Amino acid sequence: MATKTASVSVRVPEELADRVSALADALDRPKSWVVEQALAAYVEHETWFADEVHKGLAEADAGDFADGATVQAVRTKWGA
């Protein structure tokens, strides 16, 4: 079964559009494929990042912090 698709219209700087075209040519792929791959990677990363921020905030709200000795041990370990 084919995946449903939707059109998305965006405006980008001309230089970026030119780079997308050049990459599509180099990869012998349509520009839409290059944009889809880039958008999927961006959305995946930003979703992961937002999830990690929310987890960190929940830990902070719960008072789950490293104590001073733990922080100093990590700093010492890594030479800071």
Per-residue pLDDT in tens (0 to 9) along the chain, 80 residues = 788 999 999 999 999 999 999 999 999 999 999 999 999 999 999 999 999 999 999 999 998 888 899 999 999 999 87
Pull the structure tokens for residue 26: 């180099």
Q: What is the DSSP letter of 3?
A: P
| Every domain of the chain and the residues it spans | 29-77
Q: Which pLDDT value is given to residue 12?
A: 97
Tokens matching residue 14? 């001309």
Count other C-beta atoms under 10 Å from residue 33's C-beta: 13
